[in-house]
Amino acid sequence: MSSGTNRPLTGKVALVTGSARRIGRESALLLAREGAHVVVHAKSSKDEIEAVAAEIRAEGGSASALLADISVEAEAQHLVESIVNEIGSLDILVNNAAVRGEKPFTELDLATFRAVYSVTVEGAFLVTRAAAPSMIRGGFGRIITIGGVSAHSGVFHRVHVATAKAALVGFTKALAVELGEHGITANIVVPGRIGGARSKTSGAGGAFPGGGHLVVGHEGTPRNVAEFVRTLALPTGDFITGQTIHVNGGMYLP
């Protein structure tokens, strides 16, 4: 944990959705190390988010853990209201929660398509809309959304995922334009192939055209992505907004 004089997010409150594991977990840890009070979130993994919050506190940081289904409007609103009412503000939002999975397009049913879209896109919309007033009042805000390389390169058996992640790009650009005058930035960080254990609903990581060749010769880690989340969250990130930042080891070259 950094010393008090080197913790530029001291006094800020961050919410990282879907932060029980992988990129969300690493982002929560890094933001806490910069001084932010971090709200660790999941839909139902109470023990896991409590463990992440405990890890932050063990390092000398400040954290709490809250459950909510962010695809449900009332729950998303209550989640943010609870943070603002109990802690005082919400300054940094990392929209990381998502649903993935793999299914050939000709077998893709509407219910599965909607399940992915509702969490990935509508969840991000609902939480961001609820958080924006606090950021506007404070004259400071960081909205960092985790995208997906499938939206840019194409991918087999993930039309529903690629569609949802592509929608987040437009969402982010529009937020940057509309909220910029209030000291709020909005950016999207797009991971490439990230190694490590995945959840049962994530699939195998996607089959990409050309095999998803990595120029650097190895998969990335959740920490690689979280480092960019941290950079964008800092006060020094105030001149970066509306951007799509690829962290993919050369897997996709825009």
Q: Is the pLDDT of residue 204 over 60?
A: no
**pLDDT per position as a tens digit, 81-135:** 999 999 999 999 999 999 988 999 999 999 999 999 999 999 999 999 999 999 9
**pLDDT per position as a tens digit, 152-187:** 988 889 999 999 999 999 999 999 999 999 999 999
Q: Which of 133, 152, 144 is nearest to 240 (CA)?
A: 144
First to last CA, the chain: 36
Q: Enumerate the domain spans of the chain.
A: 4-247
Kindly report which listed range (2-6, 66-70, 160-164) carries the lowest average pLDDT score: 2-6
Q: How high is the mean pLDDT of the chain?
A: 92
Task: Please tell me whether residue 159 adopts helix, strand or coil conformation.
Answer: helix
pLDDT of residue 250: 86
Fold topology of 4-247: Rossmann fold (3.40.50)
Q: Which pair of structure tokens corresponds to residue 214?
A: 């990595």
**What mean pLDDT is predicted for residues 16-23?**
97
Helices and strands per DSSP (H, E), number in the chain: 8, 7
Kindly report the pTM of this predicted structure.
Answer: 0.92
Percent of the chain residues topping a pLDDT of 70:
91
> Which region holds residue 60: left if phi is over 0, alpha if psi is between -120 and 50, else beta?
left
Q: What is the dihedral angle through the alpha carbons of 173, 87, 30, 56, rounded to the nearest 10 degrees? A: -150
Distances in whole angstroms, Cα of residue 134 to Cα of each of 27, 111, 130: 21, 34, 8
**What mean pLDDT is predicted for residues 237-247?**
97
Q: Which pair of structure tokens corresponds to residue 23?
A: 């990129």
Which secondary-structure segment (H or E) carries 38? strand 37-42
Angle at 194 between CA 148 and CA 76, to 5 degrees: 50
CA R_g for the chain = 17
pLDDT of residue 5: 54
What is the DSSP-derived secondary structure letter of residue 39?
A: E
Q: Which pair of structure tokens corresponds to residue 94?
A: 């990392």
**pLDDT per position as a tens digit, 206-230:** 566 655 567 788 888 999 999 999 9
Q: Is the pLDDT of residue 245 over 60?
A: yes
Q: Which amino acid is at 187?
A: N
- Cβ neighbours for 116, distance < 8 A, ≥ 6 positions apart: 98, 99, 100, 101, 160, 161, 164
Measured between alpha carbons, how far is 241 from 232 in angstroms, rounded to an integer? Answer: 9
Of the pLDDT bands very low, low, confident and very high (cuts 50, 70, 90), residue 205 is low
Measured between alpha carbons, how far is 224 from 233 in angstroms, rounded to an integer? Answer: 15
pLDDT of residue 217: 80
What is the DSSP-derived secondary structure letter of residue 88?
A: S
- Cβ neighbours for 86, distance < 8 A, ≥ 6 positions apart: none
